[in-house]
């Protein structure tokens, strides 16, 4: 559970600027006193199925701070992430007042299609810090077909977005392999290491499961602000939208997994289970000796803490700077919002004010969590009164969980630099799938049928893979890719 | 059923025993496995597989739940409370409605009955249901939120009870009472209710299970987690755990902040959900007794 | 008929209508008012205008149901499983109820009844875990404790289509048996002992009593359950077909039903117009089938029709 959440101290380039700006705001904010009316704002918070008992106290704490700053009295409404989209539909359909919706893993089109969200274009004037971030080059606006902005994305620190394969350090040493943590490796390297580990430990297996297909961890693909279903561009030079599932990289991945499956390196039930049921490096460290996961110093620390073994995580794909996917977190203003201006002022605080952002997601300092050092770069949650919500806002303002470490900062720097220096050709472009809804719906159903089995090696490639591609085509994947290419070309011509 | 039983009767009863023993074994084995996997050490499950007699026993799942006892105890109370009140109300409504609809020459009875049957075939969906119970009749955050929407009365139960009253309660009884000057409500209380015990026990069981297993109403209409039922807790934990497991790469560090309950904990909660019904079930069985018509007609 | 109707003394029925009032009020609020939600299937929803003012768009929302080139097997699965479940539902629980009714030992009877109801009490999510506990290739009881020690080989159940029509049918029967048995039992319990005594005097054996007394009493309930089943022939128990096979894609040719397809297709979309279209289509077919089957029954045996 000791995770590092975010790190902002020594961020490269623009991040330093951002931090500076947050501080500046805090200073000038202290002088400002809000003289207008205080308006109520209802904010949704996502949880993971267990309600937070501290909501009212947290809202109270925030209101003490916010009242004379931006004239907002905030109250929270929590909803579990699994039910969020359907609950929102009912609330908005029922005309209930909600001012800020936090949305996760549902595309903007799912809400704009039914006119549930207000366009934010005219409201952005109340959010100077959000505008600043956008001008600095962060892709934080969610646009849509009609050219309006409907949501503000959660700004995640790039450190959370690496793709890694985790190994036990003892295994690499035993096999006489020299790899350094955070090193970028190829699929061949991985194949070699895994076979060596298997020689040493015949019962070893790779923790890969159908619940979370991992092919994306080895392929440098940019889905252009939508799902990989509708096609991707590869690498940083290409402008050609291709079928992700037909790429050579994808075929290499499923061939390797098939080989592993036949050698007993993948669990027989892998296609239909998840790491909790099937076994992971934390709940079965003796046999699950390697696993794909995000490259994330926090995850590494949690593995080490749970097992007492040292981890080496190798990065299996270069992460380019792309427009993220359409299924990330974002915040929007629904049509039933009563005080859109106040809502926007509050949202702006979540992108600029460390106190507001941290109180929303970690609770009250001294009750729910404590900072571990004076610079507030790290925190520990109170084990008895932990408070957390699934976040939106500017997460780069948040402290890291656990204890501050010098080398994580270095890794973060390195990673941020790498990402910032390699934008894809599609950076800034977001595909709008509105015209292709029926095809994408049918394709989603095909993916459900084949992906888990192919990407865990559980299905025979010679017969099943061609069938998969054939079915994708029968359900119109080529039309969707052509549509994406056309929109992308138009955007390229403009920019 | 007095007197000596024939050989054939004995044979049929013997076959009955054999079949029921088989069915009972098939029913109890998975339940046993459910209990044993809730106390099996997690690493032992992954290594040795599931088994009826776990080699390494661990009560950590129950200890974890014991730590949450305040919340679970409250959820138990909410569930039991709504089940008892809801089932009582429902039985009253369903029997009264069904009885009236069984009165042979009641004008408009066929029309009303078909209108009720129609509700089994079509429904307006969740969104309009939600809007009705928040805008037209606001049940949010009241006890009615857990009792009323969708659970109180349904076409199926009305049909069952009405058919029973029509087919199995002798009309002469009602007519005799009517001639004696008894009103409809009096006949309902004195004759219909006591004589429909078997079907009311069936419908009551169905309704009680409906209340016991319901989590939708709590999810939609109750925002204070103090009023969460045990099923809502179980459901929230289960559905979110699998959602998080399949979105873990997108959630990234957020998912790692979250304590996803282990399989054993999920199993333990479902054991806790089932046990009370098993204990309460004999109470229903009291009403599954036949052969009372004779006495009723004669008396 | 008309002449009789005029004679009806409405005053006599006033108490009856009063007694009917609470129940009817409930159906109006709980079922009839929300029925306007059906129109969502035919609208292009616009929450700014509200549901009732959103424009109609004909059958646009239904199109996705036909967008897939593989609806054939999906419809076949849905209908076939339902037919099998209907046939078994008319035989198995009835047989169990009759046999159970013949057992005289009271305590044992109570025990049996409680135990066979156990599966009915578990949610499908839990049933799915239990089935997995038995069938898992890596950890399952059947593979780890039976097949591996005996044959040295394991079976990957979740990758083998051929087992699943049987597994799903078994799980369905196993889960529902306890309750449907109780349903038929309540009818058996209502049969007066007089009938049996009279039959005995006429020299009827127990088997004959079953044939000529019990079955006729059970018939209305059996037919009612059949008609209800027919109305749901294009629906399926989502938990059974989605959770129990653990949404294994390889098994789709024998496990995917309409509800599972709709869920898989719409899970990322939050599109209530499309999901509402799917359920309207299912209900429309079910509705037609009920009317037709009720008409047929009315022709064959008028007493058994449900309306």
Q: Is residue C12 part of a domain?
A: no
Residue C43 lies in a domain: no
Higher pLDDT, residue B96 or B56: B96
- Residue of B84 and A32 predicted with greater confidence: B84
Residues of A in contact with B46 (CB under 8 A): 278-279, 283-284, 287
Percent of chain A having pLDDT more than 90? 34
Same domain, yes or no, for B221 and B176?
Answer: yes
Owning domain of residue C139: 71-304
Decide if B134 contacts A91 (C-beta within 8 A): no
For residue B43, what pLDDT band results from cuts at 50, 70 and 90? confident
Please provide the distance, in angstroms rounded to a whole number, between the alpha carbons at the two ends of chain B: 19
The pLDDT score that the predictor gives to residue C162 is 93
**CA separation, residue C281 to residues A491, B122, C19, C276 (Å):** 40, 11, 36, 9
Of A51, A80, A105, the CB nearest to B250: A105
* Total number of domains constituting chain B: 2
Distance CA C147, CA A151 (A): 55
What pLDDT was estimated at residue B291? 41
Contacts of C37 in chain A (CB under 8 A): none
Hey, which of A285-299, C21-35, C136-150, C287-301 has the most confident mean pLDDT? C21-35
Q: Tokens 């252009």, residue? A: A224
The verdict on residue C116 lying in a domain is: yes
SS3 C233: coil
Residue A153 φ then ψ, to 5°: -75, 155
Mean pLDDT value of segment A280-300: 83
Q: What's the whole-number average pLDDT of chain C?
A: 88
- How does residue A139 score in pLDDT terms, banded at 50, 70 and 90? confident
Bridge-based pairing of strands A149-153 and A39-47 is unpaired
Domain membership of residue C21 (yes or no) is no
Chain B nearest C-alpha distance from A304 (Å): 14
What residues contact residue A440 under an 8 Å CB cut-off, 6+ apart? A227, A229, A230, A433, A480
Mutate to test the interface with B, among A49, A211, A326, A408 (most CBs of B within 10 A): A49
Average pLDDT, stretch C150-163?
Answer: 90
Mean pLDDT, rounded, for B284-298:
52
Q: What's the pLDDT band for C7 if we cut at 50, 70, 90?
A: low
Most distant CA pair in chain A: distance in Å? 72
- Joined together, the tokens standing for residue C81 give 């499983």
Q: What is the pLDDT of residue A451?
A: 92
Q: Do C34 and B27 touch (CB under 8 A)?
A: no
Reported as a pLDDT band with limits 50, 70 and 90, residue C8 is low
The pLDDT value given to residue A406: 66
Tokens read off for B112:
């009303």
Tell me: pLDDT of B22 over 60: yes
Domain-embedded: residue B63:
no
Kindly give the pairing relationship between strand A400-401 and strand A378-381: parallel
Q: Are residues B98 and B206 in the same domain?
A: yes
Boundary (domain end) residue, out of B17, B35, B58:
B58
pLDDT at residue number A15: 32
Residue (of A108, A28, A20) closest to A70 by Cα position: A28
What share of chain A has pLDDT > 70, as a percent? Answer: 86
- Provide the token pair at C97: 């109820």
Q: What is the DSSP letter of C305?
A: -
CB A461 within 8 A of CB A256: no
Of A160, A211, A284, the CB nearest to B246: A211
pLDDT band at B52 (very low <50, low <70, confident <90, very high): confident
Q: Is the pLDDT of residue B254 over 60?
A: no
Q: What is d(CA B227, CA B239) in angstroms, rounded to the nearest whole number?
A: 19
Interface contact flag, A453 C159, Cβ < 8 Å: yes
Domain count, chain C: 1
Average pLDDT over residues C63-85: 88
Q: How does pLDDT run across A329-339, given as a tens digit for each residue?
A: 889 999 999 99
Cα C261 to Cα C249: distance, rounded to the nearest angstrom: 11
Can you tell me whether residue A39 is helix, strand or coil?
A: strand
Tell me which chain B residue has its CA closest to the CA of residue C115. Answer: B24
Phi/psi-derived region of residue A279, left when phi > 0, alpha when psi is between -120 and 50, beta in every other case: left
Same domain, B25 and B104: no
Claim to verify: residue B44 and residue B74 sit in the same structural domain: no
CA of residue C234 relative to chain centroid, distance: 11
Residue B105 and residue B7 share a domain: no
Pairing of strands A221-222, A233-234: antiparallel
Does the distance separating the beta carbons of B119 and C31 come in below 8 Å? yes
**Subunit contact A442:C132, Cβ cutoff 8 A:** no
Res. C134: pLDDT tops 50 = yes
Q: Residue A26 pLDDT more than 50?
A: no
d(CA A298, CA A307): 14
- Closest partner CB to C69 (pick from A86, A278, A474): A474
The residue ranking higher by pLDDT, A173 or B269, is A173
Q: Do C19 and B97 touch (CB under 8 A)?
A: yes
Lowest mean pLDDT among A5-14, A180-189, A468-477: A5-14
In the 8-state DSSP scheme, what is residue A41? E
Window B:193-252, CB contacts with C under 8 Å: 198-199, 201-202, 205-206, 209, 213, 231, 234-235, 238-239
Greater confidence (C78 vs A164) lies with C78
Report which of residues A326 and B30 the model is more confident about. Answer: B30
Contact A442 C45 (CB under 8 A): no
B141 and B31 share one domain: no
pLDDT at position A377: 72
Distance (Å, whole) CA A147 – CA A310 = 49
pLDDT digits (tens, 9 = 90+) for C188-237: 888 888 888 899 898 888 889 999 999 998 988 898 889 889 988 999 99
**Burial (0-12, 13-18, 19+ Cβ within 10 Å), B121:** middle
Using the beta-carbon criterion (under 8 Å), do B132 and C194 form an inter-chain contact?
no
Name the more confident of A35 and C76.
Answer: C76
- Higher-confidence residue of B282 and A159: namely B282
Residue in chain A lying closest to B234 (CA): A49
pLDDT tens readout for residues C233-272? 999 999 899 989 988 888 999 999 999 988 888 877 778 8
A182: left (phi over 0), alpha (psi -120 to 50) or beta: left
B17 and B146 share one domain: no
Contact status, residue A207 vs residue A279, Cβ threshold 8 Å: yes
How far apart are alpha carbons C124 and C168 in whole angstroms? Answer: 12
Interface of C with A in 262-291 (CB under 8 A): 264-274
Together in a domain, B33 and B77: no
Domains of chain A and any CATH numbers: 14-156+328-420 (3.40.190.10), 159-208+246-317 (3.40.190.10)
Q: Pick the more confident residue, A99 or B283.
A: A99
- Between residues 276 and 335 of chain A, which touch chain B (CB distance below 8 Å)? 276-279, 283-284, 287, 293-294, 296, 298-299, 302, 325, 327-328
C68 at the A interface (CB within 8 A)?
yes
pLDDT for A442 beyond 70:
yes
Share of chain C above pLDDT 90, in %: 39
**pLDDT band at B294; cut points 50, 70, 90:** very low
Report the neighbours of B using a cutoff of 3 or more CB pairs below 8 angstroms. A, C
Per the CB < 8 Å rule, is B27 touching C118?
A: yes
CA distance A469 to chain C (A): 14
Q: Chain B closest CA to C34's CA: distance in Å?
A: 5
Mean pLDDT score, B77-89? 94
Q: Which of C19, C126, C186 sits opposite B199 (nearest CB)?
A: C186
Instruction: For chain A, positions 186-245, list CB contacts with chain C under 8 A.
Output: 227
Q: How far apart are CA A343 and CA A332, in angstroms?
A: 10
Average pLDDT, chain A: 82
With 60 as the cut, is the pLDDT of residue A17 above it?
Answer: no
Residue A150 near residue A111 (C-beta atoms within 8 A)? yes
The alpha carbon of B164 is separated from its chain's Cα centroid by a whole number of angstroms, namely 20
Check A3 against B256: CB less than 8 A apart: yes
> Using an 8 Å Cβ cutoff, are B168 and C220 in contact?
no
pTM score: 0.85
The strand pairing partners of A40, in sequence order, are A73
Task: Specify the residue for token string 């995850």.
Answer: A299
Q: Do A95 and C50 touch (CB under 8 A)?
A: yes
**Which chain C positions have a beta carbon within 8 Å of A278's beta carbon?**
138
Do B176 and B294 have their domain in common?
yes
- At residue A181, what are phi and psi to the nearest 5 degrees? -55, 140
pLDDT tens by residue, A416-428:
777 777 888 888 7
Distance CA A88, CA A99 (A): 12
Residue of A86, A449, A476 lying closest to C270 (CB–CB): A86
What is the model's pLDDT at position A324?
Answer: 57
The pLDDT value recorded for residue B251 is 55
Residue A266 above 90 pLDDT? yes
Indicate whether C121 pLDDT > 50: yes
Q: Are residues B92 and B204 in the same domain?
A: yes
Q: What is the pLDDT of residue B280?
A: 81
The predicted-structure confidence for C278-303, as pLDDT tens digits, reads as follows: 999 999 999 999 999 989 988 988 87
Domain that holds residue B94: 70-298
CATH number of the CATH domain containing C197: 1.10.3720.10
pLDDT (average), residues B10-32? 91
Q: Where residue B99 sits, what CATH number does that domain have? A: 1.10.3720.10
C190–B168 C-beta distance less than 8 A: yes
Is it the case that residue A30 has pLDDT exceeding 60? no
Chain C neighbours (≥3 Cβ pairs under 8 A) are A, B
* A269 part of contact set with chain C, CB < 8 Å: yes
Query: Residue A205 CB: number of other CB atoms within 10 A?
Result: 27
- Which residue of chain A comes nearest to B248, CA vs CA? A212
Look at residue B255 and tell me whether its pLDDT is greater than 60.
no
State the pLDDT at residue A465. 96
Phi then psi for residue A23, to 5 deg, are: -65, -45
pLDDT in tens, A467-493: 999 999 999 999 999 999 999 999 899
pLDDT category, B183, cuts 50, 70, 90?
A: confident
C14 belongs to a structural domain: no
Residue A58 has pLDDT above 70, yes or no: yes
SS3 C153: coil
**C-alpha span between A445 and A353 (Å, rounded):** 42
- The C-alpha atoms of residue C169 and residue C74 are separated, in whole angstroms, by 17
Do residue B49 and residue B181 come from a single domain?
no
C129 pLDDT tier (thresholds 50, 70, 90): confident
Domain-located, residue B190: yes
Q: What is the ipTM of this complex?
A: 0.87
CB-CB neighbours of C72 under 10 Å:
9
- Quote the longest CA-to-CA distance of chain B: 77
Does residue B203 share a domain with residue B250? Answer: yes
DSSP string, A352-418: H-HHHHHHHHH--BTTTEEESSTT--EEEE-SSS----B--SBGGGSPEES---HHHHHHHHHHHHH
Which pLDDT score is estimated for A172?
Answer: 92
Average pLDDT of span A423-445: 83
pLDDT score of C119 more than 50: yes
Q: What chain A residue is nearest to B262 in terms of C-alpha separation?
A: A276
């Amino acid at each position: 559970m000791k995770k590092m959440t975010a790190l902002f101290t020594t961020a490269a380039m623009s991040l330093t600027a951002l931090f500076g700006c947050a501080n500046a705001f805090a200073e000038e904010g202290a002088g400002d006193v809000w003289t207008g009316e205080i308006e109520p704002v209802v904010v949704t918070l996502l949880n993971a199925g267990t309600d937070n008992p501290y909501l009212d106290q947290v809202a109270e704490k925030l209101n003490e701070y916010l009242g004379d700053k931006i004239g907002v009295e905030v109250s929270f409404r929590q909803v579990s992430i699994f039910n969020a989209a359907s609950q929102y539909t009912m609330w908005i359909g029922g005309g209930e007042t909600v001012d800020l919706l936090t949305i996760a893993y549902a595309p903007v089109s799912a809400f704009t299609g039914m006119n549930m969200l207000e366009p934010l274009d005219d409201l952005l004037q109340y959010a100077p810090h959000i505008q600043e971030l956008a001008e600095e080059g962060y892709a934080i606006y969610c646009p849509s077909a009609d050219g309006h902005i409907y949501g503000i994305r959660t700004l995640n620190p790039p450190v959370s977005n690496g793709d890694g394969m985790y190994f036990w350090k003892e295994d690499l040493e035993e096999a006489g392999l020299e790899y350094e943590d955070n090193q970028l490796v190829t699929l061949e390297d991985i194949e070699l290491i895994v076979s060596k580990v298997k020689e040493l430990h015949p019962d070893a297996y790779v923790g890969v499961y159908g619940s979370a297909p991992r092919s994306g961890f080895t392929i440098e693909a940019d889905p252009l602000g939508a799902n990989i279903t509708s096609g991707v561009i590869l690498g940083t030079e290409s402008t050609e939208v291709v079928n992700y599932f037909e790429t050579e990289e994808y075929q290499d991945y499923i061939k390797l997994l098939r080989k592993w499956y036949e050698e007993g390196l993948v669990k027989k039930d892998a296609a239909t289970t998840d790491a909790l049921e099937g076994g992971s490096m934390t709940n079965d460290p003796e046999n699950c000796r390697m696993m794909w996961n995000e490259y994330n110093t926090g995850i590494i620390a949690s593995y080490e803490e749970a097992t007492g073994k040292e981890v080496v995580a190798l990065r299996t794909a270069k992460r380019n700077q792309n427009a993220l996917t359409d299924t990330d977190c974002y915040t929007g203003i629904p049509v039933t919002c009563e005080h859109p201006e106040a809502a926007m002022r509050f949202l702006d605080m979540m992108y600029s004010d460390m106190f507001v952002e941290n109180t929303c997601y970690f609770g009250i300092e001294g009750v729910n969590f404590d900072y571990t050092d004076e610079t507030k770069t790290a925190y520990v949650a109170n084990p008895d009164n932990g408070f957390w919500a699934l976040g939106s806002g500017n997460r780069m303002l948040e402290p890291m969980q656990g204890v501050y470490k010098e080398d994580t900062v270095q890794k973060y720097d390195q990673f941020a630099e790498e990402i910032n220096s390699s934008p894809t050709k599609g950076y800034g472009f977001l595909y709008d799938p509105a015209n292709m809804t029926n095809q994408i719906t049918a394709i989603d159903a095909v993916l459900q049928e084949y992906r888990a089995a192919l990407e865990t090696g559980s299905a025979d490639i010679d017969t099943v893979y061609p069938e998969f591609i054939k079915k994708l085509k029968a359900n119109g994947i080529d039309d969707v890719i052509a549509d994406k290419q056309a929109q992308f070309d138009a955007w390229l011509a403009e920019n | 059923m007095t007197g000596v039983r024939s050989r054939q009767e004995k044979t049929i009863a013997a076959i009955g025993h054999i079949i029921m023993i088989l069915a009972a074994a098939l029913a109890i084995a998975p339940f046993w496995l459910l209990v044993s996997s809730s106390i099996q050490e997690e690493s032992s499950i992954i290594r040795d597989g599931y088994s009826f007699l776990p080699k390494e026993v661990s009560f950590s799942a129950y200890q974890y739940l014991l730590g949450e006892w305040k919340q679970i105890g409250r959820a138990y109370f909410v569930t039991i409370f709504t089940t008892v009140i809801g089932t009582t109300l429902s039985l009253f409504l369903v029997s009264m409605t069904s009885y009236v609809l069984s009165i042979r020459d009641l004008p408009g009875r066929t029309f009303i009955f078909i209108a009720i049957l129609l509700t089994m075939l079509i429904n307006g969906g969740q969104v309009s249901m939600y809007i009705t119970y928040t805008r037209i009749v606001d049940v949010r955050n009241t006890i009615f939120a857990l009792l009323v929407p969708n659970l109180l009365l349904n076409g199926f139960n009305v049909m069952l009870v009405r058919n029973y009253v029509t087919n199995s309660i002798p009309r002469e009884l009602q007519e005799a009472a009517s001639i004696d000057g008894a009103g409809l409500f009096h006949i309902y209380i004195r004759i219909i209710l006591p004589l429909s015990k078997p079907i009311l026990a069936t419908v009551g069981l169905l309704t009680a299970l409906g209340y016991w297993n319901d989590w939708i109403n709590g999810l939609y209409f109750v925002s204070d987690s103090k009023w969460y039922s045990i099923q809502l807790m179980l459901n929230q934990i289960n559905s979110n755990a699998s959602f998080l497991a399949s979105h873990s790469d997108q959630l990234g560090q957020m998912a790692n902040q979250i304590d996803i309950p282990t399989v054993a904990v999920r199993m333990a909660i479902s054991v806790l959900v089932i046990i009370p019904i098993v204990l309460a079930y004999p109470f229903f069985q009291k009403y599954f007794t036949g052969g009372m018509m004779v006495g009723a007609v004669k008396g | 008929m008309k002449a009789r109707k005029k004679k009806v003394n409405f005053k006599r029925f006033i108490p009856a209508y009063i007694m009917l009032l609470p129940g009817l009020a409930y159906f109006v609020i709980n079922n009839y008012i929300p029925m306007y939600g059906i129109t969502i299937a035919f609208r292009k929803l616009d929450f700014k205008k509200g549901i009732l003012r959103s424009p109609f768009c004909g059958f646009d929302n239904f199109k996705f149901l036909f967008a897939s080139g593989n609806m054939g097997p999906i419809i076949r699965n849905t209908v076939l499983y339902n037919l099998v479940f209907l046939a078994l539902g008319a035989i198995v629980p009835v047989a169990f109820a009759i046999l159970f009714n013949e057992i005289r030992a009271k305590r044992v009877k109570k025990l049996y009844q409680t135990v066979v109801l156990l599966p009915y009490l578990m949610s499908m999510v839990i049933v799915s875990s239990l089935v997995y506990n038995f069938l898992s290739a890596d950890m399952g009881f059947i593979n780890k404790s039976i097949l591996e020690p005996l044959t040295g080989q394991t079976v990957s159940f979740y990758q083998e289509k051929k087992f699943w029509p049987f597994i799903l049918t078994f799980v369905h029967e196993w889960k529902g048996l306890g309750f449907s048995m109780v349903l038929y039992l309540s009818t058996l319990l209502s049969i007066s002992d007089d009938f049996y005594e009279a039959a005995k005097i006429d020299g009827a054996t127990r088997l004959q009593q079953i044939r000529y007394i019990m079955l006729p009493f059970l018939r209305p309930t059996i037919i009612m359950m059949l008609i209800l089943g027919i109305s749901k022939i294009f629906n399926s128990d989502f938990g059974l077909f989605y959770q129990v096979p653990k949404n294994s894609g390889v098994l789709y040719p024998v496990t995917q039903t309409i509800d599972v397809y709709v869920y898989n297709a719409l899970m990322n979309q939050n599109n209530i117009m499309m999901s509402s279209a799917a359920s309207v289509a299912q209900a429309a077919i079910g509705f037609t089938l009920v009317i037709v089957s009720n008409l047929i029954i009315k022709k064959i045996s008028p007493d058994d029709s449900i309306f």
